[in-house]
Structure 1
Amino acid sequence: MKIAAIGLCACLASTTAIAADVSITEDNVNIGAAKYSPYLYRGHPTQVFWGDTHLHTSYSTDAGMIGNRLPPDTALRFAKGEKVVSSSGVEARLIQPLDFLVVADHAENLGLAVMIEESDAALLRDRWGKEVHDLVKAGDSYGAYGKWGEEGVATGINPMPNVALQRNMWERLIDTVEIHNEPGVFTSLHAFEWTSSPNVKNLHRVVLFRDDDDRVKLVLPFSAYDSEDPEDLWNYLEGYEERTGGQVLAIPHNGNLSNGLMFDVETRAGEPIDAAYAKRRMRWEPIYEVTQGKGDGEAHPFLSPEDEFAEFHNWDKGDFGFEAKTPEMLPNEYARSALKLGLEQQAALGINPFKFGMIGSSDSHTSLAGTREENYFGKFSGVEPGTGEFRYDDDVVSDRRPDGDGGVQVKHWETTAGALAGVWARENTRKAIWDAMARKEVYASTGTRPVLRVFAGWSFTEDDVFKPDFATIGYASGVPMGGDMTAAPEGRAPKLMVRALRDPNGANLDRIQIVKGWLDANGVSQERIYDVACSDERAISDNNRCDRPVGDTVDLNTATYTNTIGEAALAAYWEDPDFDPSSSAFYYVRILEIPTPTWLAYDRVKLGSEIPAEGVLKHQERAYTSPIWYTPEG
């Protein structure tokens, strides 16, 4: 049985195999006399926990009004590993439970569909509420949904500004989330989604609380009816902390429907961002949802033409159907280009506004946080398995331009099964998981669960990556993902140690890559990719790439693959061969799995579906760590 292939880069030779360190120890603190047990004073993360920070239930109007019948309770039971029945009547279960879940229902008219279903007395006393209630009860759910969209979302004015209704549904959601929280076993975190869409561009954020119900109930969700300006959301977050003594952060969504606004260098008021803006943005938004069901947002072929893996489920047609994408919008939408832009802004402002960690999540509106391709229940309940051609032909984004030719249209077959957040923490609790996100010791997966860890330091040796106390050394002499380096010692360059272990229920690994961004002598950001470990004893060529592709075992006739190629574990030691101590830089790790079938390939076999000719039937799942930044002194 193959265990691992270890690639050593920066002109180092390959060496022998090791197994990845799954339960990783931490730095020991010597206090007083020497102790026998070396683990008495561990204070660093020891485990990776998997979760979805972006799931919608029937409490979201854009889910509950169009077929989602599953409340937060069902979503949480499903995440904990229970078998449930989907809104369309299909049984569903995860291959293994999640460790945590964030129910992030839209703040705008939270719980409207549920109140309609229950014929809530307070709702019926509200004129507008009764109108949409009566439409639904008369069998015109889509008419009611359209009325909400036209008279509420499109206008930016709350059609039902009833605080009592909002508080009732918010507290019901909080109570359900609280019931399912089991410290040490399963974590459910309080949250909502702020659905800002200025000029129909996606600036959505998930607002995530560290606290329990007693503090969270002291506030109501902040909605796009209150403001579409992120700076006003930050004011809300600051006000929450001042009022309650609690803690909160916001997670921006994948920016590929923002048409250049997600990482804009101007404020919503049209002013250039300044140091104060940059400081506030990183105070309140330390991490970014780089990948989700509406496409992947790590890189784009136009921005990274030398990256042969940059074309991965890119959504690059336009916004929510009203404006087509132009090339100049792209740098402000993708994570890698935003990280590079952050270095440039740091040089100009003295602080980096885009110094974010990276996670993935589903953005599913079915209440089902299933992110594996063979278990995909759709973006919305109306496109769950068994719904026929509609499952593929439904518009996720319609072309709403007066003279539209379909060029900005996105069909459901273009969605992915979603993504996950990997979090390094000591225990499975709200505080530990939230704290890991705040310090950016997190990573993004496109849906599988590989174990991935990276440390950067000045004094690591080639042998350190092979030692059983790899992580102890990493924390003692370096920084983990999400960390910062400065003050380069004379004559030294950053040294990175990486370990990766495949998902035990998934595909083998193809390679480990290090993505570097830096400022050149002219202050212009640059990027380079280094393959640092290649499976199957492949060598690393002079162009810093594995000397040949990993191969392909996918059988599309049966939607299967085998782990006869690739490796179960990879590790690497790498020293930056082009380091300039006077230049700011960042480094993050990207790992690739061997090719596997997509949900379209599984559908074709399991359901006998006719798949659109343009559909992608196989791909290479991947994961991205949060970066590690280097900043020169002064």
Structure 2
Amino acid sequence: MTRQKPHNLKVPVFIAALMALIAHSSLAAGPCKHFAAERQPFFGDLHIHTRYSFDAFLSNQKNDPDGAYRYAKGEMITLPDPFGDQTIEAKIDRAIDFAAVTDHGQFLGEVALCDSDWGTLAWWAPTCIMSRTKNLWVQLYAASQWTLSGGMDGVAPQRSLICDLGDCTAAATTIWADIQAAAERHNDPSDNCEFSAFVGYEYTQGQEAANLHRNVIFKNANVTERPISVFDSNNQVPELWRQLKKQCLDASNGCDVMAIPHNSNLGGGLMFPDPATIEEAHNRRALEPLVELIQHKGASECRFDRLQGIGVDTEDELCDFEQIPSDNLHMLGSVEGKMRSEKGQAVNLSSFHRRNLMRNVLKDGLALEQANGLNPFMPGFIGSTDTHTATAGGAQERQYVGHLGSRDAGFRNIQDHFVSNPGGLAVVWAEENRRDALFDAMRRREAYATSGTRPLVRFFAGDYPENLCEDPTAIKLAYDKGVPMGGILTEQPGDMPPRFYISAQRDSGTALFPSNPLERLQIIKGWVDSNGNTHERVYDVAGSPVNELGVDPLTCAATAPGSASLCTVWQDPDPTPDQSAFYYARVLETPSCRWSTLQCQNMGVNPLSDACPDQLAASTRRAKALGASEDAFKNCCRVAEDEAFYTPTIRERAWTSPIWLQPPP
């Protein structure tokens, strides 16, 4: 039996190759053929794990960063099936424009030693042996050992036995160099500018399984010597910021960096605490201009429980979208159809922390600004996948292959990861598809999140005429007389309330993956009153809601009418003079089938059919033929009327970064 050996632990060879690639990239870079002064949209994924991540490695995932970038560009890669064999071929429906591999920074060396050579002592460490098995239960036990070492189960981070048996620092340096080299290999320095690859990693901190993770993204090839991990930061996010400033921003070598928080929905209320110091507030603002609003572990905009008819500080019924029942990473603890972790059980709405949700974080930022003079919470929005299967940008509902290697491949996806989803995409408005231009767009928050589809959305605030949508120079005027998404608009004494320009075009789709029309445009407003109380309101500003199923129940083809494009100029009918506020746009598509509905239908069990229970009973033979238990597809017949969040059809959507309105000084 031949084993794959993806890396050589001779550090100088990797570093020499990396330096040559960087030099070639720097010399070759020039202006792009496709340059747009008024900017153009680029779709990407800034949260991608490969075999260099412990949890991807122990899930039989064999693709390295090169494989992830090849997938992002539209090439076929091979993935593990539910039993760990490399039998599944996967290809994205459309290439994306940019990506960053973000493997877990704290275990790069340990994983490399586990995956190096049987002749090394570290290869025989118990955690390594368990991580290489194909047995699901052994893999999950190995995962618990990795998370214990990383400080995610209530104890301080500590290096494992693997590092006593091998040189984790040297191995991590090698892999970090390989990650950089892969980004340089796939970054297009020619004037075609077909693809941008960023160097990055994941900072993985999580006390008691609360998700405090950040994706650290570097602007260019000048990066830190090694990833700054929980072992270097004393398991404290503010120390991560200080180290990024010291080793990158203040290094005077051209290094620039940002950290992007993700999964605040699983943060247990700890992702966005009040800053303990002014330094923390400024560092958060400077280093975290974006948050990841959606990925495969759920959406973090807001939360509404349909059964109770109430939300977490919201009355917005569309906040039931892709909600995870629990509030921490134990939501991944379902095995063979049963939740095996007590912490993974559903959390009562009353116990779900307000600041797990970004809309509440934005509102609280306004209140903190009113009280202390500084708003620490002013992030823009992006989406990404958090794939652990190297399927960079693979956020489509159709032919979704899972994001957790063998743990959610095939029937295991419906059986154990039904509450998860394919994730989203990051979209930025930039002049060209170059690292510098994309990074600058992210820094100024001219970005938006999608739930996986690709509508084109623009959002501005300023002094605009009511007929701006009919003006062929609308975008130029929008920039000249206002600010785009992510901007701050400061009112002057005597100013009229601003007008908001919002336009959207439907996803163009493909022959294999047809898109849905647009249903409506909404603007969400948040503000704080003179007493420090926060408020929100949702406005429908264009289009109209669909009140029927909206899909063919047999084929899932879209049937609801909608629009190819929507545009409007809107003015707040209830302005709040002399009070800070934010506004962001939400774009809704007409109903479409959720990934789980499509996969259930492929198994002969249709969630949209009254005959679903009978079909489920007849699916036993098919399940056993796949090697699954007889009830592997029981989730297919869950009844939406009995569920707080789940529905077999969804409204794909996009969320723009907010625009902040500040009163006169």
> What is the TM-score with the length of structure 2 in the denominator?
0.78
Could you tell me whether the CA contact under 8 Å between 1:58 and 1:111 is conserved in 2?
Answer: no
Deviation of 1:112 (Å): 4.0
Could you tell me whether the CA contact under 8 Å between 2:109 and 2:169 is conserved in 1?
Answer: no
Name the aligned partner's letter for residue 95 of structure 1: D
Q: Say yes or no: does 1:181 pair with 2:166.
A: no
Secondary structure at 2:398's aligned position in 1?
helix
Aligned positions of 1:343-358 closer than 5 A: 343-358=366-381
> 1:506-551, CA deviations, whole angstroms, 9 ceiling, x for partnerless residues?
11000000111111232211111111101xxxxxxxxxxx4x5354
Name the aligned partner's letter for residue 573 of structure 1: V
The answer for the alignment partner of 1:561 in structure 2 is 558
Identity of aligned residues (%): 35
Structure 1 stretch 136-145 or stretch 568-577: which is displaced more? 136-145
Secondary structure at 2:250's aligned position in 1?
helix
Name the aligned partner's letter for residue 360 of structure 2: S
Q: Say yes or no: does 1:393 pair with 2:415.
A: yes
Name the aligned partner's letter for residue 286 of structure 1: P
Deviation of 1:130 (Å): 3.9
Structure 1 stretch 165-174 or stretch 147-156: which is displaced more? 147-156
Residue from 276, 279, 297 that aligns with 2:279: 276
Could you tell me whether the CA contact under 8 Å between 1:371 and 1:420 is conserved in 2?
Answer: yes
Could you tell me whether the CA contact under 8 Å between 1:54 and 1:361 is conserved in 2?
Answer: yes
The answer for the alignment partner of 1:270 in structure 2 is none
Could you tell me whether the CA contact under 8 Å between 1:418 and 1:447 is conserved in 2?
Answer: yes
Could you tell me whether the CA contact under 8 Å between 1:552 and 1:594 is conserved in 2?
Answer: no
Could you tell me whether the CA contact under 8 Å between 2:100 and 2:197 is conserved in 1?
Answer: yes
Which has the larger share of helix? 2
Secondary structure at 2:359's aligned position in 1?
helix
The answer for the alignment partner of 1:158 in structure 2 is 159
Could you tell me whether the CA contact under 8 Å between 2:312 and 2:354 is conserved in 1?
Answer: yes
The answer for the alignment partner of 1:447 in structure 2 is 452
Aligned positions of 1:333-348 closer than 5 A: 333-348=356-371
> 1:240-264, CA deviations, whole angstroms, 9 ceiling, x for partnerless residues?
2222331000000021111111122
Name the aligned partner's letter for residue 168 of structure 1: T
Deviation of 1:329 (Å): 4.4
The answer for the alignment partner of 1:360 in structure 2 is 383
The answer for the alignment partner of 2:538 in structure 1 is 529
Structure 1 stretch 139-148 or stretch 273-282: which is displaced more? 139-148
Instruction: Rate the CA distance shift 1:93–1:342 in 2: closer, same or farther, 3 A.
Output: same
Residue from 579, 586, 594 that aligns with 1:583: 579
Deviation of 1:129 (Å): 6.3
Could you tell me whether the CA contact under 8 Å between 2:78 and 2:88 is conserved in 1?
Answer: yes
Q: Which has the higher contact order (CA 8 A, sep 6+)?
A: 1
> 1:34-73, CA deviations, whole angstroms, 9 ceiling, x for partnerless residues?
xxxxxxxx98442100001101111100111121111111
Unaligned segments of structure 1, at least 5 residues: 1-41, 268-272, 395-411, 535-545
Q: Say yes or no: does 1:381 pair with 2:386.
A: no
Could you tell me whether the CA contact under 8 Å between 2:112 and 2:172 is conserved in 1?
Answer: no
CA distance in 1, matches of 2:351, 2:142: 38
> 1:126-183, CA deviations, whole angstroms, 9 ceiling, x for partnerless residues?
4x86444445567776254444344454441121452111101111111112101114
Name the aligned partner's letter for residue 341 of structure 1: D
Instruction: Rate the CA distance shift 1:491–1:391 in 2: closer, same or farther, 3 A.
Output: closer
Aligned length: 548
The answer for the alignment partner of 1:429 in structure 2 is 434
> 1:291-326, CA deviations, whole angstroms, 9 ceiling, x for partnerless residues?
111111111121354312111111242323365566
> 1:68-92, CA deviations, whole angstroms, 9 ceiling, x for partnerless residues?
1111111100000112222332221
Secondary structure at 1:589's aligned position in 2?
strand
Residue from 198, 219, 223 that aligns with 2:225: 219
The answer for the alignment partner of 1:242 in structure 2 is 250
Could you tell me whether the CA contact under 8 Å between 2:323 and 2:419 is conserved in 1?
Answer: no
Could you tell me whether the CA contact under 8 Å between 1:259 and 1:325 is conserved in 2?
Answer: no
Q: Say yes or no: does 1:298 pair with 2:301.
A: yes
Q: Say yes or no: does 1:331 pair with 2:354.
A: yes
Deviation of 1:236 (Å): 1.5
Deviation of 1:455 (Å): 0.9
Could you tell me whether the CA contact under 8 Å between 2:38 and 2:475 is conserved in 1?
Answer: no
Structure 1 stretch 54-63 or stretch 226-235: which is displaced more? 226-235
Aligned positions of 1:123-162 closer than 5 A: 124-126=120-122, 130-135=125-130, 142=139, 144-153=142-151, 154=153, 155=155, 156-159=157-160, 160-161=162-163, 162=168
The answer for the alignment partner of 1:543 in structure 2 is none
The answer for the alignment partner of 1:58 in structure 2 is 51
CA distance in 2, matches of 1:150, 1:199: 10
Deviation of 1:328 (Å): 5.4
CA distance in 1, matches of 2:418, 2:353: 23
Q: Say yes or no: does 1:285 pair with 2:288.
A: yes
CA distance in 2, matches of 1:313, 1:383: 20
The answer for the alignment partner of 1:87 in structure 2 is 80
Could you tell me whether the CA contact under 8 Å between 1:441 and 1:481 is conserved in 2?
Answer: yes
Instruction: Rate the CA distance shift 1:339–1:149 in 2: closer, same or farther, 3 A.
Output: closer
Could you tell me whether the CA contact under 8 Å between 1:56 and 1:104 is conserved in 2?
Answer: yes
Instruction: Rate the CA distance shift 1:138–1:228 in 2: closer, same or farther, 3 A.
Output: closer
Q: Say yes or no: does 1:496 pair with 2:500.
A: yes
The answer for the alignment partner of 1:516 in structure 2 is 525
> 1:396-425, CA deviations, whole angstroms, 9 ceiling, x for partnerless residues?
xxxxxxxxxxxxxxxx00001110011000
Q: Say yes or no: does 1:372 pair with 2:370.
A: no
Instruction: Rate the CA distance shift 1:144–1:463 in 2: closer, same or farther, 3 A.
Output: closer
CA distance in 1, matches of 2:469, 2:132: 63
CA distance in 1, matches of 2:176, 2:38: 33
Secondary structure at 1:118's aligned position in 2?
coil
Deviation of 1:114 (Å): 4.8
CA distance in 2, matches of 1:515, 1:137: 48
Could you tell me whether the CA contact under 8 Å between 1:274 and 1:349 is conserved in 2?
Answer: no
Could you tell me whether the CA contact under 8 Å between 2:312 and 2:352 is conserved in 1?
Answer: no
Could you tell me whether the CA contact under 8 Å between 2:391 and 2:403 is conserved in 1?
Answer: no
Name the aligned partner's letter for residue 398 of structure 2: E
Instruction: Rate the CA distance shift 1:327–1:90 in 2: closer, same or farther, 3 A.
Output: same
Deviation of 1:596 (Å): 0.1
Could you tell me whether the CA contact under 8 Å between 1:600 and 1:611 is conserved in 2?
Answer: no
Could you tell me whether the CA contact under 8 Å between 1:593 and 1:621 is conserved in 2?
Answer: yes
CA distance in 2, matches of 1:185, 1:120: 40
